[in-house]
Each structure stands twice: as C-alpha cells, then as structure tokens.
Amino acid sequence: MVVETCKKEMEYYPDSSFCVVYNSDVKIEEDNIQTFYFGENKGHKLGCMNAVMGALVLGSESNHDLIVFSHDDIYLQNNEKFKRSLDLMRDYDFVGRRYNIPPYTSYIMMESFIMKRSLATQIVKDYTHNSIDTLPLDDVNSECPELLFGEYIKNFTSNIFTFDFTSNYYGENEMGYYHIESKRGSYE
C-alpha cells in the first residue's frame, strides 16, 4: 500500500524525494524510495510519534523546503485539495488537521500534514520523547502522541494553518488524502 501511495504521489510530483519510515521487518526495495528504520516496534502510539519524528529527521537533512507526511494507510485521492494545502505553505510553516474540541486545542492529527523544513529542524533538535511514559495523556488517561505533536509545533511557531477535523477517521480528509480502513502497519 505505502509503495503504491508513493508511486501515485511521484506522478504528481516527480521532482520530489520519497522516503518510507518504518519500525517493522518489512523490506521495501524500490527505485526513488528511500527507507529509514527508526527502531523496534514499541506499540502503535509511540511508533506513530517515532515514525513522524523519523520523517522529520530525514526531511530536516534534505535539501527540500517542504516535508509532506502521510501515514501508511493514507493515500492521495484529491489532488485539488492537496494543491490548495500546498498553496497555503506560501504563508504558513505548517498545514495540517486539528481536532478542535476543548480541551484539545493542541491536538494535531498526524496522518497527513505539510511542514517547512526549518520548523522540522527546530522540532528535531528539541525532541526527547522515546518512551510511552513521556507521552501526554488525554481525558481518558490514554497516551496521546497527537497532543505531543501539537505542543511541539506550537512551541516553535504560531504560523500554522489547520483544517478543523471534520471527517471521521476513514474516508477523504480536508487535505485530499484518503484514510482507508486497514490493519495498522500494512505495507502491502
């Protein structure tokens, strides 16, 4: 699935670099797709945060100005919505989706987002969370990487644009990505 997503995005953006950040024993050997193993699987929530951070590390070391992140069960479906999101990056450091129901004003969705490399570089330098115990808890006392992600973004910039989270977890989102209902971590 993730390889097909990259290939579809390559059709739209052939001059971009593509990387798959993973924590499983999956081996992806495709031309034009770099892979980065960030460590053993420590569970979905910490794994999700570590995957995002792995992508930000690679992005901050690249020569590209923007980092476009999509999770393994997300694919680009609506190029017009995605182009609108890219256009917003002329004026913002981050474009993503926000779950905006108090008390979660810092709850930034991590399944797809666009970030300037300069912001990623700041976040990577400051990141210290490598244990499930360091993730903030939500109102039902569940570890919440989305809260941590939002806190990091807001610590380094107020220049963000977020679409309020309006769709359910599955289906097309406001940025043009489609979130399929699948087993987590599927690389087929």
Cis peptide before 102 (omega within 30 of 0): no
Annotation: CATH topology of 2-179: Spore Coat Polysaccharide Biosynthesis Protein SpsA; Chain A (3.90.550)
Q: What stretches in the chain show pLDDT beneath 50?
A: 184-188
CA distances from 185 to 2, 74, 98, 110, 170 (A): 10, 11, 23, 15, 15
Neighbours of 105 (CB within 10 A): 14
Which pLDDT score is estimated for 104?
66
Please name the amino acid found at residue 43.
G
The domains of the chain are located at: 2-179
pTM over 0.75: yes
Which pLDDT score is estimated for 143?
85
Q: Is 139 helix (H, G, I), strand (E, B) or coil?
A: coil
| Spatial separation of the C-alpha atoms in residues 34 and 175, rounded to whole Å | 24
Which pLDDT score is estimated for 157?
96
Judged on CB neighbours under 10 Å (0-12, 13-18, 19+), 80 is exposed
**Which among 30, 39, 36, 41 is positioned nearest to 5, based on CA atoms?**
30
80-113 pLDDT tens trace: 998 999 999 999 999 999 877 776 667 888 888 9
